[in-house]
Amino acid sequence: MTTKARRLTLLLGMLGLITLVLFALFPGRHNPLALLRVVDATGKPIAGAIIRPDGLRTKPGPYSSGWYSWQPRGMGVPNDPVTTDADGYARLPYPKYVFERIETGTICLSVEHPDFVTDRPERLVNFAPPARAPWQVWIDYIWGRVRHKALVVRPDPIVLKQGGALRLKVHSTSLQEGPLFAQIGGVYEADNRFWIHPAPNELVTRRLRPGPAKVRAVQVNTNGLAWFSSVTNVSVAAGQTTEIEIELTPGVTVRGQLDNTAARPIRNGRVIANISPEDDKLQNNPPIWHAWSGIREDGTFEFGSLPEGRLEIVALCDGYVSTNGPGTVSSFHYPQIHIIATNDLNVTVGMERTCCLAVSVTDQQGKPLKGAQVTTWPNIRYGEWSATILGGDNYNTADFMRDSEKGNSLRNWWQNRPASFAATSDITGVALLMNLPKEAKEFSVTHSNFALPAIADGSGQKRRQARMILHSGQTNRVTVELEPIGQSQIAHY
């Protein structure tokens, strides 16, 4: 290579690096775009794969360990699915910021295709250091690009695996009139393409992840009652078929009542049941059955058909919540525990008074602020593993199974949760939150022009949340002072 050519190459390389740094430092107002590619195990592109955005993680630093919900309205970027083209590529716009000035580094996805195992990958999409990062961080980053000869870095391709096949047969003597379904532990996206129905008593899938799995067959008869098989352990290999035969037995009826602590008539009552195999832990991903029911004015309720196993039950109504079951973390509310065997079960749910929280919201001059949204998020924790908003998971597994036949998915159930644990401040600046469990510890305040001051939490992060201590049967009072939005934005550096 001539001296002139070397100089030209060096100049172009320097210009590329300068452009890279300028783009990272001043990316503009537009949200970035991730170029994603889906391939099979041999590297062949997969066309028609559906990529669904699930969540976000931040760039490296104090916030990088957390998972953040992708909120289209607040972030200004839709989380609509995209489909790969003939070369396996799909372009997915994503939010520049996870919140405030905390930049997105990783996007969390689910990827589906009818010929492959569904995957839930995460991909690093923004490799540059955060804004205002020290120069040493930038130098290390640029040198790493030069050393690896990678001025342009793209996310690693998403590799989908070939699945194993499972053929599930139900003995004709136990077969009911009605649709046949199956649950596989850890598989939550079983859409209408996951199972094939070659015969009334058979289910077949070719999309099962190779290795061990826990399977249960379910049939919902014409009366709407579910019949269940036992949970069966299977092991499948890629490209091979495993066959099992099972029998169905009718589900158990669980009836119950709230104890006399809850004054009658009961208003706006709901009771939620989560059932897992008695000898298994939730972190092992066994098949889970979930159901909910309204509570009558006299405090009674009924579940028509539940499987055997460990029953976790929680109840909530105006003024009362079920007492805590066994648990280790004080900030969670826990369900009460019962064992469902082969016979019908009657339970009494212990209840206690809930709390009220009156939050007075002011500006920095002490003037009351109207229209501030005050929200808290008490969580119910199942099996010392999974958690969600208390009383918000009022869904039925059986409904999701029926919806899956229509092509619907369970992924958006949480978007239909009933509104609760929130209130808006009135002209006096007071927001009154009702029906809180005493385990609730924090709340947030949002307003069109104001925000809670950001406070360090001791882990290197800052949060715009306020603390409270609640006492049952009382109206607990807290005053918060807001600052103008943008006065002190949260950033990496």
pLDDT in tens, 330-344: 999 999 999 999 999
Higher pLDDT, 483 or 14: 483
Backbone angles phi, psi at 257, to 5 degrees: -155, 150
Mean pLDDT of 384-389: 94
What pLDDT is recorded for position 138? 80
What confidence category does residue 406 fall into, taking pLDDT thresholds of 50, 70 and 90? Answer: low
Q: Which two tokens stand for residue 22?
A: 């300028």
- Is the pLDDT reported for residue 359 higher than 60? yes
What pLDDT is recorded for position 389? 94
453-464 pLDDT, tens digit per residue, is 999 988 889 999
CA gap 359, 366 in Å, rounded: 14
What confidence category does residue 473 fall into, taking pLDDT thresholds of 50, 70 and 90? Answer: confident
What structural domains does the chain harbor? 22-159 (2.60.40.1120), 164-250 (2.60.40.1120), 252-353+379-415 (2.60.40.1120), 356-378+421-484 (2.60.40.1120)
CB 219 within 8 A of CB 176: yes
What pLDDT is recorded for position 222? 86
Higher pLDDT, 160 or 403: 160
What pLDDT is recorded for position 420? 80
- Is the pLDDT reported for residue 4 higher than 80? no
What confidence category does residue 326 fall into, taking pLDDT thresholds of 50, 70 and 90? Answer: very high
Mean pLDDT of 172-177: 89
Mean pLDDT of 304-332: 97
Mean pLDDT of 361-389: 96
CA distances (Å), 330 to each of 379, 440, 463, in order?
A: 11, 9, 20
What confidence category does residue 98 fall into, taking pLDDT thresholds of 50, 70 and 90? Answer: very high
Mean pLDDT of 400-408: 68
What confidence category does residue 147 fall into, taking pLDDT thresholds of 50, 70 and 90? Answer: confident
In terms of phi and psi (left: phi > 0; alpha: psi -120 to 50; beta: otherwise), the region of 428 is: alpha
What confidence category does residue 136 fall into, taking pLDDT thresholds of 50, 70 and 90? Answer: confident
Mean pLDDT of 196-225: 93
What confidence category does residue 413 fall into, taking pLDDT thresholds of 50, 70 and 90? Answer: low
- Name the strands in the sheet holding 158-159, side by side, starting at the edge strand that comes first in the sequence: 89-93, 33-39, 158-159
> Residues of the chain with pLDDT > 70: what percent?
88
252-292 pLDDT, tens digit per residue, is 999 999 999 999 999 999 999 999 999 999 999 999 999 99
Mean pLDDT of 68-81: 92
CA distances (Å), 148 to each of 141, 144, 295, 493, in order?
A: 11, 6, 63, 27
Minimal CA–CA distance to 469: which of 331, 350, 335? 331
What confidence category does residue 154 fall into, taking pLDDT thresholds of 50, 70 and 90? Answer: confident
What pLDDT is recorded for position 352? 97
Mean pLDDT of 161-180: 93
What pLDDT is recorded for position 404? 65
CA gap 24, 32 in Å, rounded: 11
Mean residue pLDDT across the chain: 90
- Is the pLDDT reported for residue 149 higher than 70? no
What pLDDT is recorded for position 143? 78
What pLDDT is recorded for position 19? 57
Mean pLDDT of 336-357: 97
> Residues of the chain with pLDDT > 90: what percent?
75
What pLDDT is recorded for position 172? 87
Residue 262 burial (C-beta neighbours within 10 Å; 0-12, 13-18, 19+): buried
Minimal CA–CA distance to 158: which of 112, 210, 224, 99? 112
Mean pLDDT of 42-57: 96
Mean pLDDT of 98-122: 94
